[in-house]
Amino acid sequence: MGILIDTVSALAEPRTKSLGRDMEEWKSLANFLGIDPDTRPDARSEATYYACLKILSETVGKLPMRLMRTMPDGGIVTDYDHPVYQCLCRRPNPYQGAAEFFANIELDRLHRGNAYILKEIRRNGGLYLWRLPPGQVDVVWDETRAIDRVPDVYYRWAAPGGVRTFKSYQIMHLRSADSPDSLRGIPLISRLAGLVRGSVKAQSFQNDLIGSGLTAKAVLQYSADISDGKVTKFTAGIERYAKGDLSDDGVKNIIPIPVGTTLQPLNTKLTDAQFAELKKYSAAQIAAAFGIKPQQINDMTKQSYASSQAQQEAFYQDTMLYIFRAYEDEITWKLANSGLIGSDHFCQFDTETMLRSDYATTVDANKKAIESGQIMPSEARKKLNLPAHKDGNVLLCNGAMIPMSMAGRCNVSVQDPAGEGGESQ
């Protein structure tokens, strides 16, 4: 317990030592992608890549995590009174809400390939969850028993106060599906390096073009015999006028050139190079790698309302279900392994939050569920944030319905409740 408390306290310390590590990681990534490391434009500055990270991380953050319990009669209920429920659904730690916390965790998993959550078990049986920076955590498989007598997966965290080691049950490790050694996940950016590098350069070219007043390269013709040094100075002066650098002095659209000098722009057409089409194609490829549908990155080509709805449903089914399952399995196992929850408990995202629709559609769905005997009226009122009613805790169904075992019987004898000569029907 003392190690955990000291570790959590270290999270609040200034992380000046980690800045050098972060700078080294950025330079390594920038050199790998062919980006100038001095400008520090993170790969996340690429619009499509950032949009995919934002959509997926915020989707995970939107959904509340529930602590469910299987009852002896086989029914499943939400265990609101369990101490762990407040941690998972409302406040993982004193400084973060559940939505922000899980969104940050998913962002780490996507961009770094790994996300680490440290468990702090309180003396009162409560629980705190803390995010560990992925760049400061190393995963070690101690097969030779060098760290402890029991072979296990250990997590070494380079905290500001020193290196701390944790056993596997103390850390919730969420990794990407791309994990060759089953210990560390590989971030998708490593696989998409070529696409992202091309997109970043395309955006940089577009920014430079706009910065130069949409003026492409030009040929400067002069008749006088000028030395190379004077040519450079002469050209730099004209370029300042062309880019509008002297707009503060009132010179915006005029480029003065000496007599006998000609400035001929090169005919560069983005349409001829299919610049927009190539950018769009790269964006679609990046989005597809993340499982993001075209309409989610504002690609509305040949889109209709019906196809948009189908894409949204496919996004939840094809992309998000795996992510939800990974979270639910890891969190449930690590909580149960620590004795924080029983074998009859399990964690589950409330996916109904994703499919919230308009009021009329919700009421109609509740009506059908009540009439078919699936839910009680009080449960439907709870979904509408309405107070419960004393007569609502009863299952209702159509009176014409009969048990399956009685199907095909023509006449069923019904005894008179009073037992006084009632006729059978």
pLDDT per residue as tens digits for the range 161-199: 888 989 889 999 999 988 888 889 988 887 776 556 656
Longest CA pairwise span in the chain (Å): 129
Q: What's the CA gap between 275 and 282, in Å, rounded?
A: 11
- Cite the DSSP H helix spans in 221-274: 228-243
Which pLDDT does position 206 carry in this prediction?
A: 59
Between residues 366 and 263, the one the model is more confident about:
366
| Torsion angles phi and psi, residue 154, rounded to 5 | -115, 150
Instruction: Please give the helix or strand (H or E) that residue 387 lies within, else none.
Output: none
pLDDT band at 381 (very low <50, low <70, confident <90, very high): confident
DSSP E strand boundaries for 6-99:
65-70, 76-78
pLDDT at position 215 over 70: no
Residue for token pair 């969104």: 103
Tens digit of pLDDT for each residue in 108-161? 999 999 999 999 988 776 789 999 999 899 998 877 766 667 778 899 998 888
Is residue 183 a contact partner of residue 140, using CB atoms and an 8 Å limit? no
Percent of the chain with pLDDT over 70: 61
Q: Kind and range of the H or E element at 59?
A: helix 47-62
Q: Comparing 1-15, 26-40, 60-74, 244-258, which segment has the lowest mean pLDDT?
A: 1-15
Predicted local distance difference test score (pLDDT) of residue 15: 44
Who's near 358: CB < 8 A, 6+ residues apart?
Answer: none
Region of poorest pLDDT, from 21-25, 117-121, 152-156, 251-255: 21-25
Q: What is the pTM of this model?
A: 0.67
For the residues 341-364, what does the mean pLDDT come to? 81
